């Protein structure tokens, strides 16, 4: 992808989405993959912001303690990852980089930053109307958002998103990673009652994954030879 800075256009929906087909897919399986969700110029601009203009923080958990660690050294980052790998043997665990954009649908705090446009787009009437239409979830009223970056070694173990302080209806992952190879890991995986993987989405560029909550799922570990997995993630909520 070109290193030239893209125009600072706001995120915009691709007008050519086949909403009827997407709705059929979601109603049949409770999840869907929407390629080319944004217009090309706005997708490139969002990718560049994630790659170059995001103040990342390492986020992880130690049991019920949820930690955010700013600016670790490479050696500290490796120690944090090694501890997370060990804890993942016996319980729910995650480690990746994030940057909170909006917890409760409120505006991004820096109105001059491109992320203010992202939060406004995700909570705009046209975008939420399309999400209600294709999911059939008429109660969708607002969305939260965080930027995420999974580096080699990062992961998110099995969980179902049932726990939360709001009325979560569906989760979303706005994939913004060009050139990903399937053997690099970092896949959004879904599991059946026997623990088998019944489906998965490979990281992609300019694609939106949406799935109904609750659903057992995980993000498989990015391999040591993998790349950087960028996305915007969150949930669609009812009032």
Supply the pTM of this predicted model.
0.96
97: tokens are: 């980089």
CA neighbor of 99 nearest in space, from 173, 29, 149? 149
Q: Is the pLDDT of residue 145 over 80?
A: yes
State mean pLDDT over 218-237. 98
> How would residue 222 be classed by pLDDT, with cut points 50, 70 and 90?
very high
Mean pLDDT over each residue of the chain, to the nearest integer: 97
Q: Which domains, and CATH codes, for the chain?
A: 19-54+94-238 (2.60.120.620)
Strand-pair category, 94-102 with 205-212: unpaired
The residues near 57 (Cβ < 8 Å, ≥ 6 apart) are: 68, 69, 70, 97, 98, 99
CA neighbor of 180 nearest in space, from 207, 146, 216, 218? 207
Helix (H), strand (E) at residue 29: helix 19-29
Q: What is the pLDDT of residues 5-23, one digit of tens each?
A: 889 999 999 999 999 999 9
State mean pLDDT over 124-153. 98
CA 182 and chain centroid, separation: 17
Q: What is the pLDDT of residues 84-115, one digit of tens each?
A: 999 999 999 999 999 999 999 999 999 999 99
Dihedral of alpha carbons 157, 119, 112, 4, sign: positive
């Amino acid at each position: 992808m070109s290193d030239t800075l893209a125009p600072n256009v706001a995120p915009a929906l691709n007008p050519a989405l086949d909403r009827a087909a997407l709705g059929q897919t979601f109603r049949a399986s409770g999840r869907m993959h929407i390629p080319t969700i944004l217009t090309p110029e706005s997708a490139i601009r969002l990718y560049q912001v994630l790659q170059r203009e995001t103040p990342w923080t390492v986020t992880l958990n130690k049991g019920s303690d949820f930690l955010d660690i700013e600016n670790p050294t490479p050696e500290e980052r490796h120690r944090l990852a090694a501890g997370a790998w060990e804890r993942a043997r016996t319980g729910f665990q995650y480690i990746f980089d994030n940057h909170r954009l909006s917890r409760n649908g409120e505006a991004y705090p820096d109105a001059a930053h491109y992320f203010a446009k992202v939060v406004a787009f995700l909570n705009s009437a046209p975008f939420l109307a399309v999400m209600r239409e294709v999911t059939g979830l008429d109660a969708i009223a607002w969305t939260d958002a965080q930027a995420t970056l999974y580096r080699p070694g990062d992961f998110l173990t099995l969980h179902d998103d049932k726990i939360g302080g709001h009325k979560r209806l569906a989760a979303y992952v706005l994939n913004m990673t060009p050139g990903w190879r399937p053997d690099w890991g970092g896949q959004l995986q879904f599991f059946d009652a026997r623990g088998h993987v019944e489906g998965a989405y490979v990281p992609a560029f300019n694609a939106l994954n949406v799935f109904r909550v609750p659903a057992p799922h995980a993000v498989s570990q990015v391999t040591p030879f993998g790349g950087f997995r960028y996305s915007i993630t969150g949930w669609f909520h009812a009032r």
